[in-house]
Amino acid sequence: MRKVILDCDPGHDDAVAILLAAGNPDIELLGLTTVGGNHTIDHVTRNAQQVLTVAGLSGVPIYRGASRPLLNDVVTATDIHGDTGMEIHGFTLPEPAVPVEEEHAVRWIVDTLMREEPGTVTLVPTGPLTNIALAARLEPRIVERVREVVLMGGAVGAGNVTASAEFNTFVDPEAAAIVFGENWPVVMVGLDLTHQALATPAVEARFASLGTACGDFVVGLFDAFRRNYKDAQGFENPPVHDPCAVAYVIDPTVVETVRVPVSVELAGTLTRGRTVADFRAAPGADCHTAVATRLDVDRFWDLVVDAVRALG
């Protein structure tokens, strides 16, 4: 079993990432940490509580994290995620039946990594990288204790917030620079990969046919995501980004990667938040970053469907 800390900003696709991590038998989900991103920290934390409530999961603790990026002003994505950060028209989410822990997310990440066996815990950030950067600064020894950081963020090709930058790295570029700059293994599951994970009508039908609470929840998430992505970015079918990072942790053969040095642009007026991959030469032995390139789409959706089915 892979021990995972899922650092998220739910978020329709973060919600699917949570369900995949919670429902897959090869993952031990140690906890959820929340970070301001798709919406304010209050909204995304409540959304995380609601996802666990829908799934009937009472054993996964939630820790509230950073409310704003290190330097940037708060940027949210209500065009994609609606007025609550996880808005689903015609679907009433339950009142949270699970609590939020007292401890701050960053403190808990550090404590957990210092307590667990070195090399056993994988960090899976699916929002802006603020919490992870703060944790690395609060306790630098965590860097050598983490198994790997498998993050959804960045793009080698086109961005989605700007021509250059993907949302999570655009919102907190300084945090992204810290995370990519630390000497731990980083797998960047960026837009180049996640735009292959499209929730087509055929995919959605698989969840509808489950006939379960979680299956219906996913259908609601996809419907809302489809409408918003069509209006905001012209997609016919929405890209379901965040579970791709979880899928890599479950089975790295589902996601092809290539080792390449990656740096984050902090200064450019047009390019701030861009992840710059240097493909000029073969990566050196000290290269600790990799970029995801190709998704095995069928096996990816099989993993998600199986996890959602298991949750009931």
Binding site for Ca ion (CB under 5 A): 9, 11, 14, 126-127, 242
The entry of ligand BDR, Ca ion, none that residue 160 binds, CB within 5 to 8 Å by partner kind: ligand BDR
- When the beta carbons of 168 and 257 are compared against ligand BDR, the nearer one is 168
The entry of ligand BDR, Ca ion, none that residue 128 binds, CB within 5 to 8 Å by partner kind: none
The entry of ligand BDR, Ca ion, none that residue 204 binds, CB within 5 to 8 Å by partner kind: none
Say which of 12, 81, 241, 288 is annotated catalytic: 241
- Interface residue list for ligand BDR (CB under 6 A): 11, 13-14, 38, 77, 80, 126-127, 152, 160, 166-168, 241-242
- When the beta carbons of 13 and 223 are compared against Ca ion, the nearer one is 13
The entry of Ca ion, ligand BDR, none that residue 148 binds, CB within 5 to 8 Å by partner kind: none
Q: What are phi and psi of 27, to 5 degrees?
A: -115, 135
3-state SS class at 150 = strand
Active site residue 288: no
- When the beta carbons of 38 and 275 are compared against ligand BDR, the nearer one is 38
Q: How far is the CB of 110 from ligand BDR (least distance, A)?
A: 23
Q: How far is the CB of 286 from ligand BDR (least distance, A)?
A: 28
- When the beta carbons of 106 and 221 are compared against ligand BDR, the nearer one is 221
Strand partners, 259: 290
Q: How far is the CB of 71 from Ca ion (least distance, A)?
A: 20
* SS3 readout for 153-182: CCCCCCCCCCCCCCHHHHHCHHHHHHHHHC
Query: For the chain, what is the total number of helices (H) and then of strands (E)?
Result: 12, 10
- When the beta carbons of 169 and 257 are compared against ligand BDR, the nearer one is 169
CB contact at 8 A, 240 and 16: yes
Residue with smallest beta-carbon separation from ligand BDR = 167
The C-alpha atoms of residue 272 and residue 275 are separated, in whole angstroms, by 9
Q: How far is the CB of 241 from Ca ion (least distance, A)?
A: 7
Q: How far is the CB of 8 from Ca ion (least distance, A)?
A: 6
- Residue 247, Ramachandran bin (φ over 0: left; ψ between -120 and 50: alpha; else beta): alpha
- Residue 273, Ramachandran bin (φ over 0: left; ψ between -120 and 50: alpha; else beta): left
Which tokens belong to 187?
Answer: 């797998």
Give the residue numbers annotated as catalytic, written as ranges: 241
